[in-house]
Structure 1
Amino acid sequence: ECYPDTRKISEILDNLVDNSTYDKRLRPKHGAEPVNIGISIHVTSVSAVSEINMDFTIDFYLRQTWNDPRLAFRHYLYGAFENKIDSLTVGIDYLQRLWKPDTFFPNEKKSYFHITTTHNSFLRIDPNGNVFTSQRTGKLLRSFLQSKLTVTATCNMKLQLFPMDSQICKLEIESYGYNVLDIVYYSINSGNSVSKSEFELPQFVLIDLQIASRNVVLSSGNYSRLTCSFLFKRNIGFYLIQVYLPSVLIVIISWISFWLNRDATPARVALSILTILTMTTLTATTNASMPKVSYVKSIDIFLGVSFVMVFSSLLEFAAVGYISKRIKVIERRRKIIHRQLPVSNYFYAMPSTTMNTIIPLYFGECQCPIPPPSPEEFPVEETHKEEYVILFCVIRPSQIDKYSRSIFPLIFLVFNIIYWLYYYSISGKELMDIDTDLM
């Protein structure tokens, strides 16, 4: 097998960048039609998707293709070298001597090229000066400028459905200085211009990748822009284990007070306060890892209702304690009245509202006057407030605890059914709508 002479290849490379025929400061076809820059992306990994910073970080190969007639070297191939060289692949040193598009990412926060063990970029040129994917002699030639980058780009997230949300994060590609009259970006091979390796994210699933081109109007002119859209679906498993399940258990623990004796005040108060503080800590910890948004998230609703359930158990104990205390006070007053009012087999008396005398209800063989009791010793009549409390206490404290054992779990169960059905249906519909818009 015959191999081309390396001296010939070196001569070709030197002639291509001869200063008399090549000026890297000028774009190809300067003054004529714009240069078409084909873009393809292969995503190797998504390092992070951050709600707090509203950004995402990806590692990918960026391939750019274009045609530069000044780099054509077919006329150098003759004799033994004809049809022997399909392409020339050069590294970063030679790349610095060539014109390259000033591609950048408008929505990036930070980015860098990989340089281990050397700068991860190379350029492949075909004999016609085409720096792009082309078909020649029945063989597919991969001629392109390829670089490996890590980019952290902004991602404006909508968190109303968090943690059952889907997010679209976009990576925008544009020329920094050349407008649409100089450079036009397009995606290579249409829908196959974006690909990805097999990888998994801890909190997300990458559902879809799409790329689209458009022109944007800026203060400095019109520019061609490619937008690569990443559709992420959040995994709820982490939040089920770390947030939802603990919240449910805390609410259930707060119901234990309904089975405790109503006279066990220290135990019931301690249990209620402990569950409230635990619920408050869980809510604060969850919100600490979230951005300070002005709207209510779905997880906020669940934590809020759980907190209300825990707090309501404390209010239930307060109501039971208050009613028990009022009953004891009224019963104590009745005992005092009964002790101060003598009752015999022959006399049944009731207080008179018109005079401080005891009117006998039964008249036997003798009638003896009974001196009226002093106002300090005997209350003439109970106030209307006490009568209201007596009527209110028809429901005994033990009955309140008994009803609470059923009502509280039933309310929380109904809430959970409505909550999960509603938000799962909404999140599924949102995912379908977003995916349809991308397609």
Structure 2
Amino acid sequence: MANQSTFTSIFSWQVFIQSLRQIRMSLTLTCYMNLSKFPFDQQDCGMKIMSYAHRTDKIMLHWLTGENEPVEIEPKVSLPQYAVTGSTVADGVEQYIPGNFSYLTVDFHLERLLGFYLLGAFIPSSGLVVVAWLSLWIDPVASPARVMLAISTLLALITQSNLLKSGLPKVAYITAIDIWLTVCQLLVYVILLEYGLVYVLYTTGGMTSNKRCTDRNLDKNMQMDITRCPASSKMTSFERAEPQTTLTNNPKRFMYTDGIMERAPESGMFQTQYGSRREKKISLTETSAYIGFGKRVDKVCKVTFLGIFIIFAIIYWKTYYF
């Protein structure tokens, strides 16, 4: 009779332990993530189970081994930004001051989904950079259209970057998406600086051309005034030569034959008050040089700018994704 009662008590204790193993628990866990490769990051979120009061001499924890996996993930369960690719389990003993305690660990492998960031960050920013590149094909004379197009794309990139960062944890290091958006903004800045250089070159060339035209008009008006007011035959040669000497500061410019004032031919190095032919030729050369250099800068930037962006995109995606 005594043996039967002992057997009954042992059986009841085993049933009690079995009921504890089947208890259901709901946990809210925190996972520490490294976002340096965001949004191409892969995270390992772990969970550790350990007895609080019982040492290894009273309880040992082990994962069940057999046909079924010790940790099963429901296929219907999905996360909005992550895909659960698997899990890794382990067990062991950890030593503390009160003694040794058995523990179980499980690491869930998470891979971030790129769909949202492709549609919300990478494709729009790439389109804005291409739009800024198209501004290089606008005539530099049309400064309002060219400047407004570049500034609009730059403001759109800044707004997009702020919206994305507002939904992310505040971290002290640079993430992968920060590098992408920063380089896109720098490229648009370079386009604005390039147009500033081209505009200065065109403006300088235009001012030189306008000055040359003004000098030519003044020279033409001077010749018309001399034609309309010929020297009087009653004036002496000295009186007829004096006003012209005052205007030109060169008494050898005019020749007098039989009381008639004639203009002497100019030599290659002769210079008048309003510029000689050589000065006009130099002015025309400088004008063409300024505008020609501005056109060359625009032409080079049309090719190199898009090439730099494509090379950067290839290196970026090969580094972080492939």
1:118-160 CA-to-partner distances (Å, cap 9, x unmatched) read xxxxxxx966726667xxxxxxxxx653233322222111112
Alignment length, in residue pairs? 280
In the alignment, which of 11, 14, 24 is matched to residue 129 of structure 1? 14
Given the superposition, is the C-alpha separation of residues 145 and 400 from structure 1 closer, same or farther in structure 2, using an over 3 Å criterion? same
Name the aligned partner's letter for residue 184 of structure 1. Answer: M
The 5 A counterparts of 1:383-402 are 393=290, 395-402=292-299
Stretch deviating more after TM superposition (190-199 or 279-288):
190-199
* 2:75 equivalent to 1:198: yes
Report the Cα distance in structure 1 between the residues aligned to 2:81 and 2:5, rounded to whole angstroms. Answer: 50
Given the superposition, is the C-alpha separation of residues 406 and 336 from structure 1 closer, same or farther in structure 2, using an over 3 Å criterion? same
Report the Cα distance in structure 1 between the residues aligned to 2:81 and 2:251, rounded to whole angstroms. Answer: 84
Given the superposition, is the C-alpha separation of residues 368 and 167 from structure 1 closer, same or farther in structure 2, using an over 3 Å criterion? same
Report the Cα distance in structure 2 between the residues aligned to 1:181 and 1:360, rounded to whole angstroms. Answer: 124
1:370-412 CA-to-partner distances (Å, cap 9, x unmatched) read 9x977xx779x99xxx999769626343443343333222221
Q: Is the 8 A contact 2:209 2:284 kept in 1?
A: no
Given the superposition, is the C-alpha separation of residues 162 and 358 from structure 1 closer, same or farther in structure 2, using an over 3 Å criterion? farther
Task: Report the Cα offset of residue 278 of structure 1.
Answer: 0.7
Task: Report the Cα offset of residue 162 of structure 1.
Answer: 1.2
* 2:208 equivalent to 1:292: no
Q: Is the 8 A contact 1:340 1:378 kept in 2?
A: no
**TM superposition score normalised by structure 2:** 0.72
1:62-107 CA-to-partner distances (Å, cap 9, x unmatched) read xxxxxxxxxx988349xxxxxxxxxxxxxxxxxxxxxxxxxxxxxx
What SS does the corresponding residue of 1:147 show, helix, strand or coil?
coil
* 2:37 equivalent to 1:189: no
Report the Cα distance in structure 2 between the residues aligned to 1:243 and 1:414, rounded to whole angstroms. Answer: 19
* 2:35 equivalent to 1:159: yes
Residue segments in structure 1 that go unaligned for 5+ positions in a row: 1-71, 78-124, 134-142, 345-355, 426-439
Identity %: 28
Query: What's the Cα RMSD here?
Result: 4.0
Report the Cα distance in structure 2 between the residues aligned to 1:296 and 1:359, rounded to whole angstroms. Answer: 76
Task: Report the Cα offset of residue 420 of structure 1.
Answer: 1.0
Report the Cα distance in structure 2 between the residues aligned to 1:239 and 1:152, rounded to whole angstroms. Answer: 27
The 5 A counterparts of 1:22-421 are 75-76=7-8, 129=14, 145-189=21-65, 192-199=69-76, 200-218=78-96, 221-341=99-219, 393=290, 395-421=292-318
Residue segments in structure 2 that go unaligned for 5+ positions in a row: 224-247
Higher strand share: 1
Task: Report the Cα offset of residue 268 of structure 1.
Answer: 1.9
Report the Cα distance in structure 1 between the residues aligned to 2:252 and 2:193, rounded to whole angstroms. Answer: 47
Report the Cα distance in structure 2 between the residues aligned to 1:221 and 1:388, rounded to whole angstroms. Answer: 92
What SS does the corresponding residue of 2:23 show, helix, strand or coil?
strand
Q: Is the 8 A contact 1:326 1:389 kept in 2?
A: no
Report the Cα distance in structure 1 between the residues aligned to 2:187 and 2:110, rounded to whole angstroms. Answer: 34
**Of the two structures, which has the highest relative contact order with CA contacts closer than 8 Å and spacing of 6 or more?**
2
